[in-house]
Structure 1
Amino acid sequence: MSKDYDIIVVGAGPAGIFACLELCHAGLNVLLLDKGREINARLCPIQRGGARCVLCSPCHLVSGFGGAGAFSDGKLTLSTKVGGRLPELVGLAQTEELVDYVDSIYLKFGAPHKVYGTGEEIIPLERQATLAGLKLIPVRLRHLGTEKCYQVLEAMHNFLSSKIEIRLGTAAKNIIVDEDNVQGIETSDGERLRCRYLILAPGREGSEWLVNEVKRLKLTLNSNPIDVGVRVEVPMVIMEKLTSVLYEAKLEFYSQSFDDRVRTFCMCPGGEVIMESTGGSDPVVTVNGVGYAKAKTKNTNFAILVGTTFTEPFHEPIAYGKYLARLANILSGSVLVQRLGDLMDGRRSTLSRIQHSLIEPSLKTATPGDLSFALPYRYLKSIVEMLQAMDKLAPGVASPHTLLYGIEVKFYSSQLELTSCLESKISNMFACGDGAGISRGLVQASVSGVVAARE
């Protein structure tokens, strides 16, 4: 049995949601499809008191309405300098215009009006970063917090539910194509859903599925970098001079030993370190961070990620990242935590050493251990060098008591060849968001959904 739609959108993350927000007034028959649950039903067992990730399929933290960003701390980066490659695809001027447009929609659905990163106090911070061998990338940033992010997404769901069909708990299996023209989607339970236009926004969790489908359809793929690193946790006061002005300090560094690009990512003042599953056909457990509108801990956490772009003959960056994460899972049962001082001394952390630390870990279920058994020397060396550089900007970052959780991996789908309106070589099939290798954050993912929908 098949059903016909004008447009099917696969993936209910920010790219898919904003595509639907753009389409819902056009009088079209639109279906939004996602294998996860409604946002109020996305309950992780760990959030309900479980000690370990049990690899739910799909993972409730990364699948369902709102996507992987639903339980993030909701940072809306209002800049084209970071967050994806849309400027090179659709042009800088149009991307800037659409960033403002998307921001106005977030405000309409309840995002707070306060914006960080706009004052003159940024100038001395940039100078201090330069003297430390770091590049500070100042960006305008609107912070929702995990609670407000949930409320904004719930409001979007309520708005869309009366205007389009939203089908959750249903996975896309195969893209249906006939002579380079898209025909629809076959679901995992065998139902064939036909459409005139198909927008693929599967998110990071669905990137592996999209890559496999693109290969099956014999479309051209270009490898994206993979980001591998750790989640760092320090006392909140250490980062306060940066976070009070910027909320998130986006710092970039090139390691002395390998000239690898290293960067901070997802800084969460007063937040918590969490574990999550990558989902997909071969899930592993990684770490992430969340922050709240009001601080819940006395710590600040952030990722330090080392970017790697593989060259010939290797074309499996996602598999490589999962392999490293699996090593940490094997060693710990889930996630490792190690004091920086223990790493520098060449010894594992123990429970007693963690308990004697100046920092109370926010992820209580992490297993004390040795990250050098999970991360290659090249990554660890680059991470330590960046922490030492950051210590000149924010003294205390490279303290022996600093906690490192591992590992954190950011998977970005291989880049599908797309036009400036994000259409693929298959007529009427569009791709957008993080899962398509277009964006690396909420705002550019949202913008990419708008671009695909407008075409």
Structure 2
Amino acid sequence: MTNSAENKRYDIIIVGAGAGGVFMTYELMKLKAKAKVLVIEKGGPLENRKCPISAGKTDKCVKCNPCSIMNGYGGAGSLSDGKYNITTQFGGELHKYIGEEKAMELMEYVDSVLCEHGGADAKLYSTGNSELKTIALRNNLHLLEAKVRHLGTDRNVKILGNMYAETGNAIEHKFYTGVADVKHLGDHDFEVVTEDGESYRCSDLVLATGRSGSKWIGDICSGMGIHMSSNRVDIGVRVELPAEIFKHITDEVYESKIVYKTEQYNDQVRTFCMNPYGEVVTENTNGIITVNGHSYADPALRTENTNFALLVTNTFTEPFKDSNEYGESIARLSNMLGGGVLMQRFGDLVKGRRSSERRMEKCFTRPTLKATPGDLSLVIPKRQLDSIIEMVYALDKIAPGTANEDTLLYGVEVKFYNSKIDVDENLETAVKGLYALGDGSGVTHSLSQASASGVYVARRLAEKYGK
């Protein structure tokens, strides 16, 4: 083997520097694992992750490749609201693989690391003994229990920067590097081929691509004959309203994960990613523009509005298998009609009329995202839209004003549940030496659980290679 080839041989290669990859590299560094490690990331380093919309260069998504919101060090969670939900009631199924006690222990550990790196001043909320839970139950709503550490987008970026300052020198990172192919040469022997034609070998390969790598990871696992299941996608809207309407809830628990079962269809609708005094933002997932929300710790960066998602869970049966494609097709309709994200007043929606520029000029709720006024009923299927409307009226009972005419709905918001990859209790696939963790594996759906899965695999591999 030549020196050049030798330099491209690693013990561990991690594809993706999202939450799972970040915490895996941090833990390997902390344990001083005797392993040569390479991280390959499609996006850029943290300091280069600047969306043109946030920078004031454009009003609408221009489909940057790669998208700075979705890709880069820290993954999609870097520029998010920085909410870490310590719970197994939602956010993934890590506990089904490693046990309830271990999953909670690792999420608490993740929280301690965040606090050590700049998050100690961030408030830790709890919904466990909340009076809101009782009020919700009286109105046929169910508040899920969790401890929530809210860092805010601004503080979250600083914390991740502090973590990279520790790990960057110890572990090699290659940014702006997409992976074209992965070749399985034998047990604990893989070749990773990048889009620019470079080739790297490793004994243990960790797939930690996050949500933005959903299609890619599916193709890789399918090519290796690894079984996957994909039958769920959540479709909905991002709601924006004056912060005062939800203030009594967000001041107490911050992230209120409320679940409702509709009377009309018996479908499950839930709130997701609540951002008090936040802003609505766009995401570029595989070239499709969807909507999300952020909020900040710094009071100077806060807005007058609160936003959150309302998502309808769609679970499909055989023979249908591509639930993500179903969600993408709905998002494409929004992109087709609105050139990106569509926006509609709730009052216009229930009256069966589109929101126009003229109607928006009279709207008391000032939108934080420049979106195209339109008609969501032309995009979202009737069943899902009926369920969303019913949920808005249900929330109005515990937060009067939610069903106001000027409440804004942005569409669409889609949560793609990546194909759940068959992994064992070590998060290892049937291909020896190939691990799948984080949201890209379909095992986790949250920052806390994705980060915990990274710590878990890091500790397993540190034992293998020695500390």
TM-score (norm 1): 0.96
The equivalent of 1:321 in structure 2 is: 327
Please state if 1:117 is matched with 2:122.
Answer: no
Deviation of the 1:178 alpha carbon: 2.1
CA distance in structure 2 between the aligned counterparts of 1:201 and 1:378, rounded to whole angstroms = 34
Deviation of the 1:435 alpha carbon: 1.1
The equivalent of 2:182 in structure 1 is: 175
The equivalent of 2:150 in structure 1 is: 143
Kept in 1: contact 2:188–2:202 (CA 8 A)? no
The equivalent of 1:413 in structure 2 is: 418
The equivalent of 2:290 in structure 1 is: 286
What do residues 407-426 of structure 1 show as CA deviations (whole Å, max 9, x unaligned)? Answer: 00111211111011100000
The equivalent of 2:82 in structure 1 is: 74
The equivalent of 1:258 in structure 2 is: 265
| Ranges in structure 1 where 5+ consecutive residues have no aligned partner | none
* 1:182–1:312 Cα change, 3 Å: farther
The equivalent of 2:364 in structure 1 is: 358
Please state if 1:453 is matched with 2:458.
Answer: yes
The equivalent of 1:394 in structure 2 is: 399
Partner SS for 1:248: coil
Kept in 1: contact 2:231–2:322 (CA 8 A)? no
Partner SS for 2:221: helix
The equivalent of 2:352 in structure 1 is: 346
What do residues 312-363 of structure 1 show as CA deviations (whole Å, max 9, x unaligned)? Answer: 1111111111111110011011110000000000000011212212211111
What do residues 134-162 of structure 1 show as CA deviations (whole Å, max 9, x unaligned)? Answer: 00113111111111011011111111111
Within 5 A, what are the aligned runs for 1:150-189? 150-189=157-196
Partner SS for 1:393: coil
One-letter amino acid of the structure 1 residue matched with residue 84 of structure 2: L
Q: Runs of 4 or more off by more than 6 Å in structure 1?
A: none
CA distance in structure 2 between the aligned counterparts of 1:108 and 1:184, rounded to whole angstroms = 36
CA distance in structure 1 between the aligned counterparts of 2:453 and 2:234, rounded to whole angstroms = 21
| Ranges in structure 2 where 5+ consecutive residues have no aligned partner | 461-467
Kept in 1: contact 2:257–2:270 (CA 8 A)? yes
Within 5 A, what are the aligned runs for 1:295-306? 296-306=302-312
The equivalent of 1:106 in structure 2 is: 114
One-letter amino acid of the structure 2 residue matched with residue 21 of structure 1: Y
CA distance in structure 1 between the aligned counterparts of 2:364 and 2:161, rounded to whole angstroms = 38
What do residues 382-426 of structure 1 show as CA deviations (whole Å, max 9, x unaligned)? Answer: 111111110001101111111000000111211111011100000
Q: What is the aligned counterpart of 1:10 among 10, 15, 21?
A: 15
Kept in 1: contact 2:188–2:204 (CA 8 A)? no
Kept in 2: contact 1:224–1:437 (CA 8 A)? no
CA distance in structure 1 between the aligned counterparts of 2:204 and 2:187, rounded to whole angstroms = 13
CA distance in structure 1 between the aligned counterparts of 2:189 and 2:353, rounded to whole angstroms = 56
How many equivalent pairs are there?
450
Q: What is the aligned counterpart of 1:384 among 382, 389, 397?
A: 389
The equivalent of 1:94 in structure 2 is: 102
One-letter amino acid of the structure 1 residue matched with residue 265 of structure 2: F
Taking only aligned residues, the RMSD between alpha carbons, in angstroms, comes to 1.3
What do residues 100-136 of structure 1 show as CA deviations (whole Å, max 9, x unaligned)? Answer: 111111111111344443388x432111101111001
What do residues 32-71 of structure 1 show as CA deviations (whole Å, max 9, x unaligned)? Answer: 1101001111121212220221111111110011100111
Kept in 2: contact 1:112–1:142 (CA 8 A)? no
Partner SS for 1:447: helix
CA distance in structure 1 between the aligned counterparts of 2:433 and 2:54, rounded to whole angstroms = 41
* 1:33–1:377 Cα change, 3 Å: same
CA distance in structure 2 between the aligned counterparts of 1:87 and 1:345, rounded to whole angstroms = 45
Partner SS for 2:397: helix
CA distance in structure 1 between the aligned counterparts of 2:175 and 2:126, rounded to whole angstroms = 39
Kept in 1: contact 2:87–2:145 (CA 8 A)? no
Please state if 1:404 is matched with 2:409.
Answer: yes
CA distance in structure 2 between the aligned counterparts of 1:182 and 1:313, rounded to whole angstroms = 35
Q: What is the aligned counterpart of 2:317 among 302, 311, 322?
A: 311
CA distance in structure 1 between the aligned counterparts of 2:135 and 2:100, rounded to whole angstroms = 29
* 1:385–1:156 Cα change, 3 Å: same
Deviation of the 1:30 alpha carbon: 0.7
CA distance in structure 2 between the aligned counterparts of 1:343 and 1:183, rounded to whole angstroms = 53
TM-score (norm 2): 0.94
One-letter amino acid of the structure 1 residue matched with residue 39 of structure 2: L
CA distance in structure 1 between the aligned counterparts of 2:116 and 2:171, rounded to whole angstroms = 19
CA distance in structure 2 between the aligned counterparts of 1:95 and 1:425, rounded to whole angstroms = 22
Please state if 1:51 is matched with 2:56.
Answer: no
Worse-matched range after superposition: 230-239 or 81-90:
81-90
Within 5 A, what are the aligned runs for 1:123-272? 123-272=130-279
CA distance in structure 1 between the aligned counterparts of 2:339 and 2:127, rounded to whole angstroms = 45
One-letter amino acid of the structure 1 residue matched with residue 344 of structure 2: Q
Q: What is the aligned counterpart of 2:429 among 400, 424, 430?
A: 424
Kept in 1: contact 2:28–2:458 (CA 8 A)? yes
Deviation of the 1:291 alpha carbon: 0.5
CA distance in structure 2 between the aligned counterparts of 1:119 and 1:219, rounded to whole angstroms = 39
Please state if 1:368 is matched with 2:376.
Answer: no
CA distance in structure 2 between the aligned counterparts of 1:123 and 1:292, rounded to whole angstroms = 24
Partner SS for 2:118: coil
Kept in 1: contact 2:231–2:317 (CA 8 A)? no
One-letter amino acid of the structure 1 residue matched with residue 23 of structure 2: F
Deviation of the 1:12 alpha carbon: 0.5
Kept in 2: contact 1:174–1:187 (CA 8 A)? yes
Deviation of the 1:243 alpha carbon: 0.2
